[in-house]
A and B are shown apart, each in its own frame.
Chain A
Amino acid sequence: AQKITQTQPGMFVQEKEAVTLDCTYDTSDQSYGLFWYKQPSSGEMIFLIYQGSYDEQNATEGRYSLNFQKARKSANLVISASQLGDSAMYFCAMLRNSLFTGTYKYIFGTGTRLKVLA
């Protein structure tokens, strides 16, 4: 079964420190993608970073990096130099690509609530 697991319901981090949010996935697909989204209290979903299953290098976007370990099926998000504005809910998601329909279906984890402390 296709599944995304985020085992940390809540995390605290001191401002300016780095934090790692865990994500493991289960899939039998050969080709897939992994995403991280941020959801502030306003409810909007903000795309942070993407990693393709065939990408050899870990994805980075500014202060965000994705620690992709394919053999362990993990795709942890690392936020460096945390800021107060980083306080939000963070969702890990997996993309399943149907070669037959051309449809891209996304499976989301249950999320991790991050609180950055001043």
Chain B
Amino acid sequence: SQTIHQWPATLVQPVGSPLSLECTVEGTSNPNLYWYRQAAGRGLQLLFYSVGIGQISSEVPQNLSASRPQDRQFILSSKKLLLSDSGFYLCAWSHGTSGNYEQYFGPGTRLTVT
């Protein structure tokens, strides 16, 4: 069966510090991968998605970046965090082929920028 992992689960970082959030998927190959951010009490905002290794599409221009160094690994980074980067970050995957469109979400990382 497929599983998706995210770490860390919670993170408190000062403004201006770097960020690295990691997401890995097991039990499937060539998935589509997604990073979302959810501000407190709000909906999900798509940040990045990837259809393959090294292929990243950005949905919202900001100080965050994403990389996909391996097929089932997706990393969200920042060189300098802003207060507005606080939120709940969710990684998700979906099948890379048609017929099964469900997205499967990881447990999330709660980031607080102080």
Contact = CB atoms under 8 A, between A and B. Distances in A.
Interface stretch (A11-19, A40-48, A77-85): A40-48
Interface string A62-95: 0000000000000000000000000000010101
User: Would you call the interface of chain A mostly helix, strand, loop, or mixed?
Assistant: strand
Contacts of B57: 103
Contact of B102 (A44, A47, A102, A108): A47
Interface residues of B, number: 26
A44 B36 CA distance: 13
A52 B102 CA distance: 11
Interface of B: 32, 34, 36, 42-46, 49, 51, 57, 88, 90, 92, 94, 96-98, 101-105, 107-108, 110
5 contacts: A93-B103, A95-B101, A106-B46, A106-B103, A110-B42
